[in-house]
């Protein structure tokens, strides 16, 4: 069982966007999976380079540079962000579009 201290250290470094691209519903679940060594520390798709720092926390040595790009994490076929996460992202995008359209209308009335 991983130390809660390691889970917290890992979680504190994550972007906390809860995007689900790592295959988990939220960053807390991903942090626990990394601490339990169930998933690569390079699995955060928001910032894959963070994997080096997460590896340090886990006491795992990884090369600082590689000879060419080799993904350290391969998502399982069919893994997509959870519907809850997708709905939240879509809602945020709709809000941004609505804000832009509102600003356009304000500019039209000034002309």
* CATH architecture assignment, domain 1-63+72-80: Orthogonal Bundle (1.10)
CB neighbour burial string for 72-106, b if at least 16 within 10 angstroms, e if fewer: ebeeeeeeebeeebeebeeeeeeeeeeeeeeeeee
pLDDT for 33 equals 93
pLDDT averaged over 10-residue windows placed end to end, the chain, 111 residues? 86 93 92 92 88 89 57 50 75 87 89 69
CA distances from 88 to 10, 21, 45, 66, 97 (A): 24, 14, 18, 36, 14
Domain range annotation of the chain: 1-63+72-80, 81-111
pLDDT for 66 equals 52
Say if pTM beats, i.e. exceeds, 0.75. no
């Amino acid at each position: 069982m991983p130390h809660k201290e390691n889970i917290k250290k890992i979680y504190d470094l994550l972007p906390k966007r809860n995007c689900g691209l790592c295959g988990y519903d939220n960053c807390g679940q991903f942090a626990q999976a990394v601490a339990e060594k169930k998933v690569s520390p390079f699995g955060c798709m928001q910032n894959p380079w963070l994997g080096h720092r997460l590896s340090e926390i886990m006491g795992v040595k990884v090369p600082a540079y590689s000879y060419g790009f080799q993904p350290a994490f391969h998502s399982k076929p069919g893994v997509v962000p959870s519907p809850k996460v997708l709905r939240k992202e879509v809602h945020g995008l709709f809000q941004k579009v609505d804000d832009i359209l509102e600003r356009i209308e304000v500019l039209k009335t000034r002309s």
